[in-house]
Amino acid sequence: VDFERGTELAVEGPRDLALCPATATGTLYPGFCYGSDAGTHAALLHAKTGNVHVYYNGGCWFDFSTNRNSPLVYTVAGTYAEKDNRPAIVFGTKPDDQQTLVVLSGVHIEYDPIKVAPRRSVLVPLKDSATERLELWNYILSSLGLDVAHKSDPIPSPTPLHMFFSNEPAKVSFIQSLNHHAVDGVLKCEQLAVSFGDESLAPKCDTDDCISVRLSDQARIDPSWTFSPHEYFALLKENGCLKGFDHIGSQFLYAEYINSTQTILTQNPRLASTLPNGSFILAGDQLAGKGRGQNTWLSSKGCLQFTMVLHHHQTSSSLALIQYLVGLSMVEAILNEPGYSMGGILVNSQVFQDGFLLLIGFGTSVYDTPWTRSLNELVQLYNSAHGTTLSPWTKERLLARFYGKFREYYRQLTTVGFPFDDYHKRWLHTGKIVFVESEQMKARIEGIDPNGFLIARPHSEGLLGLLDSASKPSSSQQPFLLQPDGNSFDMMKNLIKRK
């Protein structure tokens, strides 16, 4: 690096990674200052895809003159047109791995100019080059081996919600309950109005602030849907979920496209509290799926993604255990299917009447998800490795088995307690050595307590030091508890830190 030599901003010297045989030299345009937009420019590049203006603020150019004898292979994908065509974007391979391609750039191709350009003189050329910038961005991503759609498909609009019931008495019971809260079939909620009506009637509204829910017949469904209510209810019955003391999983709302199954309920508690206990909203595809924290849930038609409404009347101490119960139910739904061995969970809770209203969002990849492994890919790999012929999963089958397990475990939770033995049998963390950032110490994970807290015990001489993971735990040290909603667990780093 040779940055701003001779100034107070100077940064010079070798870099350990050295991903390409060049010196990153800068800056090229005047005015750069850390934490400021004073040095921003719309830099004109001669790129592989054509001429394009891109966002520049204190970036470098790549000087290969001192490293011409390097065996490292590199190509220049873009040059600064106004600066003697000095290299701006470089493709190269790591010194120890000729199969790994890296991209180094002195400009920000990924920046949306409307969000980052402070001055009109910079914003206008960047906006004018918006299409060319995306073409360059696609070229770079494609060169990295990623599958990029060069022409965006139109984003579909949300489709109407349909509500299904396992039997006619359940439908009649819901309508009778709804009449206590709705006026002429319209339920006024916090963020929108929801119009409930029979499938044969024209919807009363379908706008941004008023949506319709059609009380549907299983026999009258759209054949283009990626989920079959009829098949789901048949499998639910097969798993013993249409009898007993509750109807968890036996009533649900479905939309082929919806913004978010979680958001529609969290933003409209009145709708959530009106829906039957154990009912859920299921999406064929989500347009703005909600993940944990501020994360976005990437959706596809191959994902099983739903949000369950649960009216929980136990003590608040058992709330943290619900998310564990959901995860365990899905794992057991898969592992207990004969011959099989193999998401994400988001829980929102609020006090409601004499208990808690829980909105439990769950998503897992069943098939056809290009950015991650799916359940059926694992089935295919297992069949190839073991010479078996296990059939692929469907969303209907997985959801029915999930509710079969969840009903069983939730009943156990509310009567005799949490199934700790089953949970620890499937858990990944028992005995793991982690570093607890807030305490600056190493600890061994021992399990979870009846309130859902993580049980950890100081590990040997772990205070203020990272020890070898093979060192012995100290049984004399008292265990301590970590609250799950106050800490995050980075499994890749074995690190627990405060949120």
Q: What is the pLDDT of residues 379-391, one digit of tens each?
A: 898 899 999 998 9
Q: Spell out the residues 6+ positions from residue 93 whose beta carbon is closer than 8 angstroms to its own.
A: 72, 73, 74, 99, 100, 101, 102
409 and 432 belong to one structural domain: no
What is the distance between the alpha carbons of residues 307 and 253, in angstroms, rounded to a whole number? 10
- pLDDT recorded at residue 77: 93
315 and 272 belong to one structural domain: yes
Q: How confident is the model over 323-381, as pLDDT tens digits? A: 888 888 888 888 866 655 446 777 777 777 778 888 888 888 898 766 677 889 888 98
- pLDDT recorded at residue 468: 38
pLDDT band at residue 240, thresholds of 50, 70 and 90?
confident
403 and 483 belong to one structural domain: no
253 and 308 belong to one structural domain: yes
- pLDDT recorded at residue 200: 66
418 and 437 belong to one structural domain: no
**149 is a domain residue:** no
**192 is a domain residue:** yes
**152 is a domain residue:** no
111 and 251 belong to one structural domain: no
**151 is a domain residue:** no
373 and 228 belong to one structural domain: yes
The total number of structural domains in the chain stands at 3
69 and 173 belong to one structural domain: no
**154 is a domain residue:** no
What is the distance between the alpha carbons of residues 197 and 178, in angstroms, rounded to a whole number? 11
Q: CATH number for the domain including 330?
A: 3.30.930.10
Antiparallel, parallel or unpaired: β 86-94 and 480-482: unpaired
The residue length of the chain stands at 499
Asked if residue 62 lies in contact with residue 106, where contact means CB atoms within 8 angstroms, the answer is yes
308 and 262 belong to one structural domain: yes
178 and 259 belong to one structural domain: yes
Residue 77 structural domain = 2-143
pTM strictly above 0.75: no
- pLDDT recorded at residue 152: 61
280 and 348 belong to one structural domain: yes
181 and 211 belong to one structural domain: yes
Q: How close are the terminal C-alpha atoms of the chain, in Å?
A: 35
**135 is a domain residue:** yes
Q: What percent of the chain has pLDDT over 70?
A: 82
What does the DSSP 8-state code read for residue 250? Answer: S
